[in-house]
Structure 1
Amino acid sequence: LPCSNLAGALLTRAMDIGKVGIWFFLDAMPAADTAEFAKLVEKNGYKALWIPEAVGREPFAHAAYLLSHTDRLAIATGIANIWARDAVTMAAASKTVAELSGGRFLLGIGVSHKPLVTNLRGHSYDKPYSYMKEYLPKMKNALYLAPAPKDPVPVVLAALHPKMLALSAAEANGTHTYFVPPEHTAKARAQIGPNAMLCAAQAVILETDATKARTAAREYMKTYVPRLPNYTNNLKALGWADKEFENGCSDRLVDAIVAWGAEGKIRDRIDAHLKAGASHVCLLPLRADGSPLPDHRAVEAFRQR
Structure 2
Amino acid sequence: MTTSPLKDQIGRYGIWSVGLRGEDPAGAGERAEAAAELEELGFGAVWLGGNSAAQHAAPLLKATSTLTVGTSIQSIWQYEAADSAASFAELHSAHPGRFVLGLGVSHAQRAAQYRRPYSALVGYLDALDEAGVPADRRALAALGPKTLELSRDRAAGAIPYLVTAEHTAQAREILGDGPLLAPELKVILETDPDRARTLARESIAMYLALPNYTNNFLRHGFTEDDLADGGSDRLIDAVYAWGDEQRIRARIDAFVEAGADHVALQLVDDGDRDSLPREAWKRLASTVG
Shared fold by TM > 0.5? yes
Q: Percent identity?
A: 39
Does residue 158 (structure 1) correspond to residue 141 (structure 2)? The answer is yes
* Further displaced range: 11-20 or 211-220: 11-20
> Would you say the 8 A contact 1:107–1:153 is kept in 2?
no
Partner of 1:247: helix, strand, or coil? coil
Separation in 1, partners of 2:205, 2:147: 24
Separation in 2, partners of 1:135, 1:247: 37
Does residue 109 (structure 1) correspond to residue 103 (structure 2)? The answer is yes
Query: Which of 187, 196, 199 is the equivalent residue of 1:216?
Result: 199
Partner residue in 2 for 1:184: 167
Aligned 1:267-282 pairs, distance under 5 A: 267-282=249-264
Separation in 2, partners of 1:71, 1:11: 21
Report the CA distance between 1:297 and its aligned residue: 3.8
Q: Which runs of 5+ in 1 are unaligned?
A: 1-6, 145-150
Does residue 21 (structure 1) correspond to residue 14 (structure 2)? The answer is yes
Partner of 1:103: helix, strand, or coil? coil
The structure-2 alpha-carbon separation of the partners of 1:85 and 1:291, relative to structure 1 and needing over 3 Å to count, comes to closer
Does residue 138 (structure 1) correspond to residue 127 (structure 2)? The answer is yes
> Would you say the 8 A contact 2:165–2:255 is kept in 1?
yes
Separation in 2, partners of 1:12, 1:36: 27
Partner residue in 2 for 1:147: none
Separation in 1, partners of 2:136, 2:152: 15
Partner of 2:206: helix, strand, or coil? coil
- Residue 203 of structure 1 aligns to which amino acid in structure 2? K
Separation in 1, partners of 2:32, 2:61: 9
> Would you say the 8 A contact 1:59–1:77 is kept in 2?
yes
Query: How well do the aligned residues superpose, as a CA RMSD in angstroms?
Result: 2.1
> Would you say the 8 A contact 1:205–1:261 is kept in 2?
yes
Report the CA distance between 1:180 and its aligned residue: 0.4
Separation in 1, partners of 2:222, 2:103: 27
Separation in 1, partners of 2:165, 2:132: 39
The structure-2 alpha-carbon separation of the partners of 1:153 and 1:33, relative to structure 1 and needing over 3 Å to count, comes to farther
Alignment coverage as a number of residue pairs: 282
- Residue 140 of structure 2 aligns to which amino acid in structure 1? L
Give the structure with the larger helix fraction. 2
> Would you say the 8 A contact 2:97–2:137 is kept in 1?
no
Query: Which of 70, 78, 91 is the equivalent residue of 1:84?
Result: 78
- Residue 43 of structure 1 aligns to which amino acid in structure 2? E
Partner residue in 2 for 1:3: none
Separation in 1, partners of 2:254, 2:222: 19
Report the CA distance between 1:15 and its aligned residue: 5.8
Report the CA distance between 1:192 and its aligned residue: 1.0
